[in-house]
A and B are shown apart, each in its own frame.
Chain A
Amino acid sequence: MKKKLEIVYKILAVAALLYLFLVSISLMGAAFKGFGKGFAENLIRTTSNPFVGLFIGILATSLVQSSSTTTSVVVGIVGAGGLTVGNAIPIIMGANIGTTVTNTLVSLGHVNRRDEFERAISAATVHDFFNLICVAILFPIELSTGYLEKTATFMSGIFSGVGGIKFVSPIKLVIKPAVGLIQKAALLLSGSELPAYILMAVLSLVILFFALYFIVKVMKSLVVNRAEIILDNVINKSPILGLFAGLAFTIVVQSSSITTSLLIPLVAAGILTIKAAFPITIGANIGTTTTAILASFATGNVSAITIAFAHFMFNLTGTVCIYPIRFFRVVPINLAKAFGELAAKKKRYAIIYVLGVFFLMPTLLIIISKLF
């Protein structure tokens, strides 16, 4: 009875947190709208260089260690008109690379046992290499054809109705009163508009972090027992089922980092092979896109839905292009294994890799692009 009551409390907590998450996205949109046209133009100009967008995505996600946070913020800003879909796509791609830092950091925990560390860092970086390869292939294709933007626009068109019918999001209707209330309170507290919008933006970020952090925590505690059973069933069995398990678990816990990080100790211990962990990882890659899709419904804005679908399409295309063909599939696995061997021999390479790829390189390239 006590356990059942605990489950009910947790479900209610998730519902409340989900509401807060959606409110935060809508609040962010309202704040960015309030900043005015000048601010939006400045932001769009800053991210008009797709490479800068890509590196902003990597850096921002590496710093907050959550692609769900970055993509939700991007969706919120796109919904408010602060970013165009075209400018936001590279940021989303960058977020996909940045999110892989978490499990790489987890793998460093095995550094004192050489063989274990070799397996752990290989399992972590297979996600990195897969996402880097996806970006290396799909980023130039997107730049030259805009296929992601076009496909995502088509998909969001299905949701918003064809022929100019305005999209009315039921989620937006539910969260509107709360956002309106916060907006009024911020205006009342600040006295004038600009400080109120700044307060709203800060508050929206705080609520977003809080809500996402606790959604992940509570959902994980709710599903962890079943996840354990499923994981035990899929381990070293069918890769397709592994992919679905990764996808489903990530949709439920709303964090690919949680899914991929849980695999690291299993691979390190030799329970799971890198080959078997790989489909679970790319399932998580697709599953994590649901957060942005959910956030986009809070904005009720077609562009926001478009960018959320672009995120989904990017990960889906990457998986479809690379995973089914053995020749391509083994590339990230072999690269990760080779890097694991190197990092196990000389541990400084692991540190250089994490600092270089996720923090120093994107920072330097953003600075250089600003200077020239």
Chain B
Amino acid sequence: MFKNLLSFWKGKDFLVQVIEDFKIMLDDSESMFEAVCAQLLEGAKEPGLKDKIYEIDKQVNNLQKEIRGRIVEHLSLQPTVDVNTCLILMSVVKDAERLGDYSKNLYEVTELLAEPIDCALFSEYFDKLDKKILALFQQTKKAFIDADEDQARSSWQHEKKIAKDCDQIIERLAQSNLPVNQAVCFTLVARHFKRIMAHLVNIATSVVLPLSDLDYFDERKNED
């Protein structure tokens, strides 16, 4: 009983705990994305990948709920402390949850494919785009966890370039003679990649954007 009481006394400060949980969300989403891309783009077959992806996605969703709950607890007890941080977290935690969802959706594309993908064809269109997005995951984590403003700003540039590539893929697909199944799946992959990047940049740029401008980094950039 005494040990129990002691364990209830111990714990981490609000911000430390929440940032740790948020980092786990990003790590989980990254591992989902990496595993799905390995199967989708490189043809690697991982047994039980579906269960693994769905399980991690559930964990990401639960972490989102936990972080939100912790924010409500914190603001109930200390309504004037870390208000901006809480509101930013409330926003970016949604982005992190979406990263998990889109990674799951990417896995679902692998199930839509009528036949195994032609890796050569795929790489012709996507040209290591997945690796660039994985680098953006790292950059986002660094920008957000370390509050690194330079990393946050450079993630804009990174995103802009990759997003252009995604748009070009769709343009090319629209003019191609690929079978419907492949064209639809490639389009979905391009769109999901673009959405994943947008959510990553939302998270990274939350370090430098005013609270009211969160998620509108592109507009802000044009103004600057």
Contacts and interface: CB of A to CB of B under 8 A. Distances in A.
Interface stretch (A23-31, A77-85, A234-242, A347-355): A234-242
Interface stretch (B23-31, B73-81, B143-151): B73-81
Contacts of B13: 225, 229
B11 interface: yes
A229 B78 contact: no
Contacts of A235: 73
Contact of B73 (A226, A228, A238, A244): A228
Interface string A197-214: 000000000000000000
A: contact size bracket: 20 to 34
A245 interface: yes
B8 A241 contact: yes
B222 interface: no
Interface string B175-204: 000000000000000000000000000000
A269 B70 CA distance: 11
Given A241-B5, A244-B5, A232 B76 contact: no
The interface residues of chain B, by DSSP majority, are classed as helix
A224 B72 contact: no
Contacts of A244: 5
Interface in A245-298: 245, 262, 265-266, 269, 271
A42 interface: no
Contacts of B17: 232
A227 interface: yes
A230 B78 contact: no
A229 B72 contact: no
B77 A224 contact: yes
B77 A233 contact: no
A244 to B, nearest CB: 7
B212 interface: no
6 contacts: A228-B73, A229-B12, A230-B8, A230-B9, A232-B11, A265-B72
Given A227-B77, A233-B8, A269-B72, 12 more contacts: A224-B78, A229-B12, A230-B9, A231-B77, A232-B11, A233-B9, A233-B11, A238-B4, A241-B8, A265-B72, A265-B75, A271-B73
Interface of B: 4-5, 7-14, 17, 69-70, 72-78
7 closest residue pairs by CB, A with B: A229-B11, A265-B76, A233-B8, A269-B72, A271-B69, A228-B77, A271-B72
Interface of A: 224-235, 238, 241, 244-245, 262, 265-266, 269, 271
